[in-house]
A and B are shown apart, each in its own frame.
Chain A
């Protein structure tokens, strides 16, 4: 347990050590450590209820952990200075702050608090996403409200952009636009992005890193390119199951299927061949989605 909150590297946008959280008897997060390098776009996948939102809130100091510490740009998350807060753009899952205001008024109000507020961007985005400034936020559809929340976070020109399931309420066109925005900011301004999502193909487009949250732990946390082409599922027919070794090199999981065959997920080192089992074995390369399903099932 970390009793001492020491200063951390201010160049590291966000990091945590040994974060733990329990809701009543349920352990949501256990001993979780993570460091997101500057300029990275980290996609966080996890089943619904796995604790993605909790993790994000604790990273930003919006929720108290039971144990462990989190830092943003070197400062303890629970005591962020205004200077650091101004470098943050955050879109929670159900944005409803200032819901009584009208779109235009809310953005004006918020904008006054941020020195790097991009007014031109706000106007362009409102137009492109067809949002009327005079509309009260409470009267917008969930998708529209999410879009306004996104504009609000992006207009800050943040150094760290944190999005909790940003695409959940968006249609495919709006989603693609959002990804475009993320991709460009990450590339040009070196913005660090953390977003949680269950839309795996979105992640495959823009993420540089991916992390799986499962059973209160980070099961996987790697650069995306390293992950592709490295995981496969070997399916061994019933007749051959008996002769396979207890544990294959790089084995991640193994399970018997209803028909008696055995499915083994293996990871190989780059440029290494797949384990050769011969006989009645099928090899399926696993994309991100399949890998996630296999590992978390």
Chain B
């Protein structure tokens, strides 16, 4: 995997480590990153994006504790080979949380009834 596969927005409200973690999670759960695939080193990512390496470490550490990444001796971080349990619906749904909350808030500002928004969302999902 190349460090430039990640896109960093330093000025977004979301902390950089969470941006990285979220992107990696999506890449892994969508199988764009294969089990066993090596991730770029913390140093590489930090240097490429000119960000604090602790930020990268934190993102990697988070995914490691979620079982999505594994530390391999001599290789650094790799995508976990075996996940004992596939990620549940609830866990995958969590990844949409931020944007769902944002959507709900905007709908509130526009004074739209929930039923109408849900109907539209369902239509988009079922396409």
Contact = CB atoms under 8 A, between A and B. Distances in A.
Question: Real complex partners, A and B?
Answer: yes
Given A187-B42, A188-B43, A228 B53 contact: no
B16 A204 contact: yes
A286 B109 CA distance: 18
B46 A187 contact: yes
Interface stretch (B7-15, B28-36, B116-124): B7-15
Interface residues of A, number: 27
Interface stretch (A1-9, A146-154, A177-185, A253-261): A177-185
Interface of B: 8, 10-17, 42-43, 46-47, 49-55, 58, 105, 109
Contact of A205 (B17, B42, B49): B49
Nearest to A187: B53
A187 B54 contact: yes
B55 to A, nearest CB: 8
Interface in A210-256: 224-225, 228-229
A206 B13 contact: no
A72 interface: no
Interface string A163-196: 0000000000000100110011011100000000
Interface in A91-112: none
B11 A183 contact: no
A271 to B, nearest CB: 13
Nearest to A229: B13
A201 B17 contact: no
Contacts of A176: 50
Contacts of A207: 52
Nearest to A224: B15
Contacts of B52: 41, 183, 186-187, 205-208
Contacts of B43: 184, 187-188
A289 interface: yes
Interface of A: 41, 176, 179-180, 183-184, 186-188, 200-201, 204-208, 224-225, 228-229, 282-283, 285-289
19 contacts: A41-B52, A179-B50, A183-B46, A183-B52, A183-B53, A184-B46, A184-B47, A188-B43, A200-B11, A205-B8, A206-B51, A206-B52, A208-B52, A208-B54, A228-B13, A228-B15, A229-B13, A283-B105, A287-B13
Nearest to B54: A208
Contacts of B54: 186-187, 208
B43, B50, B51: most-surrounded residue (chain A CB, <10 A): B50
Contacts of A200: 11
Contact of A229 (B11, B15, B51, B53): B15
Contacts of A179: 50
A184 B53 contact: yes
A286 B12 CA distance: 9
A73 B80 CA distance: 42
A100 B120 CA distance: 71
B50 A285 contact: no
A268 B42 CA distance: 31
B99 to A, nearest CB: 13
A286 B50 contact: no
B68 to A, nearest CB: 21
Contacts of A288: 11
A201 B11 contact: yes
A286 B54 CA distance: 23
Given A187-B43, A225-B17, A204 B10 contact: yes
A206 B14 contact: no
